[in-house]
Every structure is written in C-alpha cells, then in structure tokens.
Chain A
C-alpha cells in the first residue's frame, strides 16, 4: 500500500476546469492534514488548449509540486492521456473520462498502469444537468479509489462551496461528488495501491500561493499604494491589494501602461507613502528607465517581478529565470539597486517586508525577484512561518518635522542629497516646512539643483554607489544567502528562487542514497555577498549552478563577482518547464562520476 505520498495530475483542456478540480482536491487533502505543493501548467489561452495541474502530497514538509514521474492521472480526454501517459510510474493510475470516446486506442494502453474509465461528463450532463460539475464527479471517483472517508470528504466539499457560493451550490456539488463516488463503487474495482488517509494530529498549515504571500507581506509592511498593469504571472498581487488596501487607507491604481505604473508608485513614494509596483519581464523592460530615475533621485520603491519565459512575449504562463541580468544590470548609466529573491512562500512573505525596509533605509529601488512557479503555485506552510510577530517597520533617515527643524537650526539649511559618510542622506517629504528640494533626474548638487560640475558629479555618483556597495552590503540588512545540506559535501549547488524546492528535495533523495550535497541558496542577487559565495565555491570540489535560462545568467553573474570559474558546472534549462528533483539528482551523479 502506498499511503499519503502521491503525485497527482489533473489534465484537460483550458475551460475544462482542471484547475478547479485541482483546487477542490487540494482543499480536501489539506483539511485531511496533508502537506501539499502544486504545479500549474497552463497555456496562454482561456479555452481549448491542454492545461494541467499537478498536486503533490505527503504527510510531512514538501518542497515542490513537480516531479518527472507521476503516480496518478485524471484525464478529461484522450489527448490528455496521450500527453501524460509516459510520465506515469509503473503501477500508476489513470482515471479517464470516457464520455466521448468509450475506449482508449491500443497505443494509449500501458500494461503496467491501472486504468479506470468513468463517464464523468455524461454523468454530470445527464444525471445532474450541468456539464461543468463533472469536475466534482471526478473528485468523487478519485476519492473513492483513493480510499478516502466519504463523510469527511463530503463535509469538506460542502464547506468549501458553502463559503464561496452558498447553500444551493454547495448541495449540488455534494450531490455530484456522491454520483462520482457511487459510480466508482458500483463499477470500478480498485487494483492500485494508492491510499490517502487523514493525518492524525497534523501540524496546522496555510495553503497559500506565492503571490498571496507577497500581497500579505506588502500589507503588513505598511504598503499603502500600488500601481501596476495586469500581467501574468504577477496580476494576483494587484488584484489582492485592490481589494485589501482600501481597508487600511491605501490606494490601488490600475495604470494605463507599465511605464505609468511605476511612475504612479514613484510619485506616492516621493510623497512619503510606502509604495510598490508589480510586473513580469515585459513590464520590467518598460519600467527600466524609471528604475534609473529612482536610483538618481533616491526614492524608495519596491518592484515585484515574477519572471516568466522570455524574450519578448515569450512563454507568458511558463516559468523561467531569464530576467536576472535585466533585474541586476538593466538600464542606462550606473544605477546600482538591490535585488533580492525569495526561494519559497515563507520567504516571499518575509522578504517582501525586507524589501520595503531596505527601500526606505537605503532610499533605493528594490527588486523583489521571483518566478511563475513561486508566484502562482500553492504550498503548505506551517502557520507559525507567516506571522506578524517580529515584523519591524524601518523607515531609515525619513525625517519628522521636528528632526527637520533641528537640522535647520543646527546647520542653517536642509540638504536632501547631503553627502554623508554612509552615502545615505536625510529625507524630507512634501508638506514639511523647510524640507524643500527637487527630486532630480539630472545630476544634482546637495540641494537637488541640476549641476554638471565634475567634482560634484563624481561625489554624487560615489555617494550613490557607496550606500549600496558599502553601507547596505556590510549592514547585515540584506537577506542572507543560506547554506543547506551537508557542509562537508564535495558537491555544491547554487541556485535562487523556485529552484530552492527541487534542489532541497534532491538533497534529501540523494542523502537517502548516501550522497551528500550542499546548497548555497542566494537570496540577495545584488549586491552579491562575494565572501560567502567565494567561500562556498572554494569549499567544494565542484559546484553545479542551477540556471533556468539559455545564457546561464546566474553562472555569469557569479563569474563577474568571483573569478574562480574552474569549479562551476552549469545546469541549464529553458523549455518552459521547471527543474525537477530528478534532473538535479542526475546532474549531481554525473558530476560525482568524474570528481571521483
């Protein structure tokens, strides 16, 4: 019997409700005390093209929603059987909706896989009079086959729909569930070994999407202004804050374009409000000129960038990490900024708060760089990992009127861009008496007035560089890069963002085979903690850089800051799908074979 360890995929066409089926199943399993991670794989299309969602569950912490191999497939048509058939493990399961094509053709039959046929659409349409409810009929079939408790599952489904759609819809969904359950009970004989059971005394978790964690981080950090343009995979943040910010005196402006979005946010930030904008690669391209402006006029702003496949429109709904160069170096002129990258949902929450504090402390744009996998997938997180305890709001050298008065009394004048030792100047906001200055995109002198004086130009540039490369770098404020795994391992891995998930799982799997690996999870991508990075590289025989893009951008970034290149092994991918633990395990073994 294979209990409470399952990789389950729902596959259909866009419009079939595969994602809804996945959501309902996830909710059921979550309430049964299981830990989950999802991987949504959908096209840039509203109806028609194949879509699927993978849910992985365990009775303990799970890092990532995708594996190469699959245990269970729920397919709404034969096309989707064909697409996913060879991902199934021997002993795996297919539930096939045979409403349209009664039998699968011989080429779609594997003799090491268990097939269950159920006319889901037909039951929904003929018995329940509502075709879309086939999703819940499917849930009924799957629940029966997985040996789940009928009453408990029924209760969860009822609650799920009752909270969202009310009594009537809740009852009809329970009815659909029972039809599916009963069909399976009467017509299908369980041949496989998979079972999902309630976990006794399960740890309390949130089942939360990365974007949902970022939005919450923004609220808690005191963000009271967001302006963005809708773009996959970042839109959720805008939608959530559109709903939530007015509750706390905040404003959401749906901008007319990506250019204006960042400039609205910048205007609010300049006026003294914690502000952000959210986007993906194409939007980052358009926002880049303003990032330079914010470096120049030293205005704090959080720019949330959820990467997707590029270049250009690229793969709008698929993951990639190919905006790293752009995030770190994008734009004209010397414009250092802070780029931080969380690796999981917990970090997405906490590092959003970090981003707001860093932006104000260092009076700089901060890019919070994530990716489609973290942004749009849900993960189980222990409730104690997302709390408001320990949250600090740090506004740096933002002056009160009293502090401003003191400066003027002591120094005779207020200089917004005063050249200081740490490179950070005192900051006034409009409305404060005595704090007048121009936030200037031209090179400027200490009061903000335009200048081309070579000495002043040099001093100002040095000041802006100093606050990032010296003050911020040495402050301990930047999210620390973390080392996971086995410190004495010969093989090291470096990655950032979502690859934390598959890498962590690979480390666990390899350890069970007696292979030790260590992992440097980079969380501050700029400015890089070169000491930690170089020590990590020096301490290993070989270092695999997990790089989800075609030009090995992370590896290149590492090479720019540390010149010991001989140890680096690049593991690249750019096919629109995330790394899996298996891919990383294979690479580790390959490298081990020639290290000795």
Chain B
C-alpha cells in the first residue's frame, strides 16, 4: 500500500467520544486515526464496521464511512463490504463480548476466509456498557455482577483460536502503549488478508481488577528481541503458550503469514477479476442462456 495523500490524524476527527475518561478505547481511536493518516488512506475510502458495546461506538467517533450494526455481527458485514468493493479499507471493531461471545462463530470463520480486513477487538475482560458482567475473557475468580462468587469458566484464548483457525496476521496490543499500537495497526492494515488485533483496552470503571497497572506488570512484548520466527505458525503458538504459562500476556505482532492470497481475491478470481461493485448490471441478452435448460 503506497502513501496516496498527505493526511493528519485530525482529518479523521468526528464527534467527541462519550467513553469514560481513561478508557482504553481512546487509544484505539487515536491509534486508528494515526495509522490511517500515516498510511495516507483518505476517510471516504475507509469503512469502520462496529458492533455493540462501548467499543462499538467507535464508528460514531471517526470520520469514515461507518456501519454500527447489531451485537456480534461485525465480521460478516465487514467481510462483505470488502468482497463488494476491494478498493475500500475495511476496519472491523468491537469488544470481547461482541467478538468472542455473541459473535464467536463469525470469528472462527473470518480467520478461515482470510478476507482482507483488519479486526480490532477492544478487550477489557468485562462487559462495560451493561455495567460490569463477566466476559469470555474474564479470569477465573474475578468477581463481577454475574460472577458474585468469582468467574467459574475458563477464559477464551483469542490468540490461540486465531492461530488454530488459520489467521494470517495475529497481534496483540495494549492501549497503554500508543506508539506500539500505532505501529501494529499500520502493519495490520497493510497486511493483505485477515488481520486480527486483540487490544488490551482497560475498563477504568467496571474492571478494577485488570487495571493499567495490572496489565503493565503482566505484559511481555514478544516483538522486542524476538526469539522466534514470526512467520512460523507452530512457533507462534508455542510462544503464546510459553509466555502464558508464566502468567504473562504476550503483546506484539505474533504471527504473519507471508504471500497469502486474500480470500476476497479468490472470490474475485472466480468472477474473472471483477468485484461486485464494478459488475455491469444492465439487462443483457446473454442472461437468456440460462433459460435454455428449461426449454
């Protein structure tokens, strides 16, 4: 992707967010604006598809085409926007409830389809907008509105799921480290294929357990002095497992498949290289060929 226009992050300014002061989602919003500006992608060529929850409001807060859909259905919508019009840069964004609970099935299949979009999950290990219930990534023992005796279930491991399902770009960022996050977002957007970024986005109101401070103590940057091959899926899985076995959270670009063919391109190939948005829909004589089988 070449730089097309000189842009500033403020070119993406829209309505001012209504998130709580200190919310990790601010960093994602800022990081996204900066990444898009630095990549020179003009706002009207960007589509931000968002889900439901605090994070889902992001499409209201960035100047770009937005689609604020229903709970959990971010990925089908976002993938189809790209399939329809490959010239668009498509960002799918949501929270851990949206992506890993109610929309979990789509996460499995988006990894498998490898459509060229970027999926950013603002993971705060809690339900924020419904005021503090356990999420699929809440840690065992965490006391919340729906886990008064502590969370019972084992947490989901999104990185491992993505790696196992064939994701071609897997990364983890932290809203407490904006420069790192911008760098990763840029790589994710540039990657041709499904890019998955699980962002640690602390909830300062409803998650008093997993705080910025707590995360800082637990994070381990795997892309500093990388001691493994980021292009090897099994090594990446081993790395995630190893870091987590020490009670730490791996952060950084974890896996990148090189030279992968994006799913949307495969579908376009079936259609002779034409994208649906460019298809001729005028009424044509050649349609009549279809009717011959019924003669």
Rounded to whole angstroms, the CA-CA distance of A251 and B264 in the bound complex is 9
Contact code string A188-224 (vs B, CB < 8 Å = 1, else 0):
0000000000000000101110001000100111101
Rounded to whole angstroms, the CA-CA distance of A207 and B294 in the bound complex is 5
Which of chain B's residues have a CB closer than 8 A to the CB of A255? Answer: 76
Contact code string B145-184 (vs A, CB < 8 Å = 1, else 0):
0000000000000000000000000000000000000000
Stretch in B19-27, B78-86, B234-242 touching the partner: B78-86
| B80 CB contact (under 8 Å) in A256, A267, A434 | A267
Q: Indicate if B109 sits at the interface (CB-CB under 8 A).
A: yes
Contact yes or no, A206 B44, CB < 8 A = no
Interface residues on chain A, number (Cβ under 8 Å): 66
Within 8 A of A (CB), among B73-99: 73, 75-81, 83-85, 87-88
Contact code string B11-38 (vs A, CB < 8 Å = 1, else 0):
0000100000000000000000000000
Contact yes or no, B276 A220, CB < 8 A = no
| B88 CB contact (under 8 Å) in A207, A208, A271 | A271
Look across to chain B and name the residue whose beta carbon is closest to the beta carbon of A220: B287
CB distance from B53 to the nearest CB of A (A): 12
Which of chain B's residues have a CB closer than 8 A to the CB of A487? Answer: none
CB distance from B251 to the nearest CB of A (A): 29
Q: Indicate if A90 sits at the interface (CB-CB under 8 A).
A: no
Contact yes or no, B276 A260, CB < 8 A = no
Which of chain B's residues have a CB closer than 8 A to the CB of A367? Answer: none
Main secondary structure of the interface of A (DSSP, over half): mixed
Contact yes or no, B85 A248, CB < 8 A = no
Known interface pairs A224-B281, A268-B81; A260-B67 also in contact (CB < 8 Å):
no
Q: Indicate if B209 sits at the interface (CB-CB under 8 A).
A: no
CB distance from A128 to the nearest CB of B (A): 28
Which of chain A's residues have a CB closer than 8 A to the CB of B277? Answer: 271-273, 431
Contact yes or no, A251 B70, CB < 8 A = no
Which of chain B's residues have a CB closer than 8 A to the CB of A204? Answer: 295
Rounded to whole angstroms, the CA-CA distance of A256 and B75 in the bound complex is 11
Which of chain A's residues have a CB closer than 8 A to the CB of B281? Answer: 221-222, 224, 274, 393
Rounded to whole angstroms, the CA-CA distance of A388 and B285 in the bound complex is 8
Rounded to whole angstroms, the CA-CA distance of A263 and B57 in the bound complex is 19
Rounded to whole angstroms, the CA-CA distance of A204 and B73 in the bound complex is 47
Q: Indicate if B64 sits at the interface (CB-CB under 8 A).
A: yes
Q: Indicate if A270 sits at the interface (CB-CB under 8 A).
A: yes
Rounded to whole angstroms, the CA-CA distance of A388 and B276 in the bound complex is 21
Rounded to whole angstroms, the CA-CA distance of A220 and B290 in the bound complex is 11
Q: Indicate if A249 sits at the interface (CB-CB under 8 A).
A: yes
Q: Indicate if B217 sits at the interface (CB-CB under 8 A).
A: no
Which of chain A's residues have a CB closer than 8 A to the CB of B271? Answer: 245-251
Q: Indicate if A433 sits at the interface (CB-CB under 8 A).
A: yes
Look across to chain B and name the residue whose beta carbon is closest to the beta carbon of A380: B294
Within 8 A of B (CB), among A518-532: none
Stretch in A100-108, A435-443, A588-596 touching the partner: A435-443
Within 8 A of A (CB), among B248-283: 267, 270-272, 274-283
Which of chain B's residues have a CB closer than 8 A to the CB of A273? Answer: 84-85, 276-277, 279
Q: Indicate if A364 sits at the interface (CB-CB under 8 A).
A: no
Which of chain A's residues have a CB closer than 8 A to the CB of B15? Answer: 449
Rounded to whole angstroms, the CA-CA distance of A409 and B108 in the bound complex is 45
Using a CB–CB distance below 8 Å, which chain B residues touch chain A?
Answer: 15, 42-45, 47, 49, 52, 57, 59-60, 63-70, 72-73, 75-81, 83-85, 87-88, 105-106, 108-109, 267, 270-272, 274-285, 287-288, 290-291, 294-295
Leading 5 A-B pairs by shortest Cβ distance: A267-B80, A222-B281, A249-B279, A438-B66, A249-B274
Q: List 18 A-B contacts (CB under 8 A).
A: A219-B287, A221-B281, A249-B274, A250-B271, A251-B276, A256-B109, A263-B70, A267-B80, A268-B83, A273-B84, A273-B277, A297-B67, A297-B68, A383-B291, A430-B65, A440-B60, A441-B68, A441-B70
Using a CB–CB distance below 8 Å, which chain A residues touch chain B?
Answer: 204, 206-208, 212, 216, 219-222, 224-225, 227, 244-251, 253, 255-257, 259-261, 263-268, 270-275, 289-290, 292-293, 297, 383, 386, 388, 391, 393, 430-442, 448-450
Given A222-B281, A271-B80, 13 further pairs, Cβ under 8 A: A249-B275, A259-B72, A260-B106, A263-B70, A267-B78, A271-B84, A271-B85, A274-B281, A434-B44, A437-B66, A438-B67, A440-B60, A441-B70
